[in-house]
Amino acid sequence: MPERPPEPENLDLDKPNAARVYDYYLGGNHNFAIDRQMGDEAIRMWPELPLIMQANRAFLRRAVQYCTEQGIRQFLDLGSGIPTVGNVHEVAQQAAPGTPVVYVDTDPVAVAYSRKLLGDNPDVAIVRADLREPDQVLAAPEVTELLDLSQPVALMMVAVLHFVGDANRPGAIVARYRDALAPGSFLVISHATDEGRPDVAHPHAELYRQRTTTPMTLRSRAAVTGFFEGFELVEPGVVHLPLWRPVASADVAERPERITGLAGVGRKV
């Protein structure tokens, strides 16, 4: 088991954290008892949750691979969480060694683990910042030093926009990042939806609302597609997670709509 880094000061363990719960779903150990308790409660309500999280992770890897195949050589990952096996920098740098990757997250535990796990990689950095403040993120020294936004970049917003409520105007936030990207850049999104399993998706979202500081907003395919304004959607468009360019037919679930996440990749024109 990897050694835990020192706990950040003033860490609030009264409530579960979405990044750490996600790590627990994936079988990681960068989480605390409060996170595992909520994860177990959620899995009792919805036993397929770990499968859904694995499908989301598999989409991330396929999307990064696709972007590298299109010549992308720099990545900005917003709401990155805790870097587990097969994260953005591992996939990107395997395809193209030296590819710079900047991770951004607000959770102090995710940032602390990231700094420990990534400390010996000079082409990767972690920024503690709120993705809802694009100007601050884009002006962070780690971003300006490692990335050249005058050249195409892949902007990763994987499983994070559903934690940005409508009151925060997520469309405007995405548009601000879009405007900072060079033509030829890519936007990668996955997003929770109730399309396919509203019977369990809504109670799951309610659990996050009650128990965490990051309530979840489920959105429709049309709403998720709207985030790609100014981008040309890559085939097959916005689809359920297992249906976005699967590498083999075995990767597609028998009923992909039960994997209640939507995924898409767009290219800035």
Q: Global pTM?
A: 0.90
Buried (b) or exposed (e) across 20-35, using 16+ Cβ within 10 A? bbbbbbbebebbbebb
List pLDDT tens digits, range 92-148: 999 999 999 999 999 888 888 888 888 789 999 999 999 999 999 999 999 999 999
List pLDDT tens digits, range 159-208: 999 999 999 999 999 999 999 999 999 999 999 998 878 888 888 888 88
User: What local confidence, expressed as pLDDT, does residue 202 receive?
Assistant: 87
Phi, psi of 154 (to 5 degrees): -100, 120
Which fold is adopted by the domain 57-268?
Rossmann fold (3.40.50)
Question: What DSSP assignment string belongs to 15-64?
Answer: S--HHHHHHHHTT-S---HHHHHHHHHHHHH-TTHHHHHHHHHHHHHHHH
Would you kindly state where each structural domain of the chain is located, as residue ranges? 57-268
List pLDDT tens digits, range 215-239: 899 999 999 999 999 999 999 999 9
CB 124 within 8 A of CB 45: no
| Amino acid in the structure at residue 227 | F
